[in-house]
Amino acid sequence: MPRFFINPDISKAKTISTDFYTSPVYFEESKEKIFVKSWQFATDIKNVKETGSVYPFLLLENYLNESLILTRDKYGQIRCMSNVCTHRGNLIAYEPCKTNQLRCKYHGRLFGLDGIFISMPEFNEVQNFPCEDDNLAQTILFQWGKLLFTNLLPGIAAADFFEDMKKRMEWFPMDQLVYRENLSRHFTVKANWALYCENYLEGFHIPFVHAGLNAVLDFGEYSTEIFKYSNLQLGIGKKGDLCFNLPPSSPDYGKEVAAYYFWVFPNMMFNFYPWGLSLNIVQPVGVSETKVSFLTYVYDESKLNTGAGSGLDAVELEDEEVVENVQKGIRSRFYQHGRYSVKREQGTHHFHSLIAKFMD
């Protein structure tokens, strides 16, 4: 029997068991079964913009905690690889820098910026050395505009996760986005990461929780589209409110689109507004604790603080209050499953179906 079961017919389905949000066992299993098998945000290209740039980072700090490194070689190629020396496991780069080679500070093992082993002191007598295992392990890198993503396993196609969003937003000026640290935010939410995601994945709660957002969205026209490992909530604005000036090439041409809310499994939200992009990264910390980063990328400053893309901090706090109370509620002896609104909760049903698939 599968660990979790979600009926593919949303009209008959029950929500995922509350054990998924409360069990330390499932929280740990999700690392390898969900997050290692999916694409994750690494950084943006500003951190490796020059030849010789070296940028170490932790992938999903406080959860996966995988030490990786980004480099840009003399040909301009950007690579992502393990930041762990193949000799004794020391970290190679401790902080961002510029260099032509990577040298371990423990015993002097040397690598190229492509991760290929170059030399090692005092190893002349070692047999069958060097071999492939002495090179730094490589991870696949996917770039969209200035954003860089990676995964830890080979064979996980980026197209399955990103292509539907890329096609829909091909007119959007991704290359013009500028990261604004002063407008970015980080929140700690006392709830399981999956509860936070599923709240995002339905607009059903907007009229009840987000009065300000509801005032600028036409809830009657709010819709969800499902893809393989992503989905889209299309936010239609009310007449007179700020919306995208869509080109004729867009499949949404003629619609008053105030926001595109894309979710990519399992934990990334791409919120496109007329002023730019709010990239939300949901990072598990504990069974009932999550860090959420709102990374702000702007291309049209004049449209900030208008329309559906305004008041995001207030919307976040409203979401946090509800999600944290759900985390308390699901511990009840009287609740284990709910049902889905066929019209309004397709995204949550899709999310639960993917969790069930990956955890099997």
Q: How far apart are CA 345 and CA 352, in angstroms?
A: 11
Q: Per-domain residue ranges for the chain?
A: 40-155, 163-359
| HSE-up (13 A, CA, CB side) for residue 333 | 0
* Per-residue model confidence as pLDDT tens digits over 267-286: 999 999 999 999 999 999 99
* pLDDT score of 71: 98
Is 40-155 CATH 1.10.630.10? Answer: no
Q: What is the mean pLDDT of the segment spanning 232-236?
A: 93
Closest by Cα among 77, 57, 89 to 141 = 77
Average pLDDT of the residues of the chain: 94
Q: How far apart are CA 128 and CA 125, in angstroms?
A: 10
pLDDT(1) > 70: no
Q: For residue 67, how far is the Cα from the chain centroid?
A: 17
Q: Do domains 40-155 and 163-359 have the same CATH topology?
A: no
pLDDT(329) > 80: yes
Of 220 and 123, the structure prediction assigns the larger pLDDT to 123
* Per-residue model confidence as pLDDT tens digits over 51-93: 999 999 999 999 999 999 999 999 999 999 999 999 999 999 9
pLDDT(50) > 70: yes
Three-state secondary structure string covering the chain: CCCCCCCCCCCCCECCCCHHHHCHHHHHHHHHHHHCCCCEEEEEHHHHCCCCEEEEEEECCCCCCEEEEEEECCCCCEEEEECECCCCCCECCCCCEECCEEECCCCCCEEECCCCEEECCCCCCCCCCCCHHHCCCEEEEEEECCEEEEECCCCCCHHHHHHHHHHHCCCCCHHHCEECHHHCEEEEECCCHHHHHHHHCCCCCHHHHCHHHHCCECHHHCEEEECCCEEEEEEEECCCCCCCCCCCCCCCCCCCEEEEEEEECCCEEEEEECCEEEEEEEEEEECCEEEEEEEEEECCHHHCCCHHHCCHHHHHHHHHHHHHHHHHHCCCCCCCCCECCCCCCHHHHHHHHHHHHHHC
Extract the tokens encoding 166.
């890329």
> Could you give the angle at which helices 312-329 and 193-200 cross, rounded to 10 degrees?
120
Look at domain 163-359 and name its CATH class.
alpha beta
Which residues are bridge partners to 103 per DSSP?
A: 110
* pLDDT score of 210: 75
Extract the tokens encoding 85.
């020396």
* pLDDT score of 221: 78
Span of 37-51, 63-77, 298-312 with lowest mean pLDDT = 298-312
Span of 32-41, 185-194, 205-214 with lowest mean pLDDT = 205-214
Closest by Cα among 310, 63, 309, 316 to 188 = 316
* pLDDT score of 103: 98
* pLDDT score of 205: 77
